[in-house]
Chains A and B, each alone.
Chain A
Amino acid sequence: GENVEQHPSTLSVQEGDSAVIKCTYSDSASNYFPWYKQELGKRPQLIIDIRSNVGEKKDQRIAVTLNKTAKHFSLHITETQPEDSAVYFCAASSGGGADGLTFGKGTHLIIQP
Chain B
Amino acid sequence: EAGVVQSPRYKIIEKKQPVAFWCNPISGHNTLYWYLQNLGQGPELLIRYENEEAVDDSQLPKDRFSAERLKGVDSTLKIQPAELGDSAVYLCASSVGMNTEAFFGQGTRLTVV
B104 interface residue, CB < 8 Å from A?
yes
A89 and B37 CA atoms in complex are apart in Å by: 12
Give 5 CB contacts A-B under 8 Å.
A31-B99, A45-B104, A93-B98, A98-B58, A103-B42
| A46 touches which of B44, B56, B101 (Cβ 8 Å) | B101
A106 and B105 CA atoms in complex are apart in Å by: 18
Interface-centre pick from A31, A44, A102, A105 (highest chain B CB count, 10 A): A44
A95-B99, A103-B35 known; 20 other A-B pairs, CB under 8 Å?
A6-B42, A31-B99, A32-B98, A34-B101, A34-B102, A43-B91, A43-B104, A43-B107, A96-B98, A98-B55, A98-B56, A100-B45, A100-B48, A101-B33, A101-B48, A101-B102, A103-B43, A103-B44, A104-B42, A106-B40
Q: How many residues of B contact A (CB 8 A)?
A: 22
Which of chain A's residues have a CB closer than 8 A to the CB of B45?
Answer: 99-102
Which of chain B's residues have a CB closer than 8 A to the CB of A89?
Answer: 42-43
Task: Enumerate chain A interface residues (CB-CB to B < 8 A).
Answer: 1, 6, 31-32, 34, 42-46, 49, 51, 89, 93, 95-96, 98-106
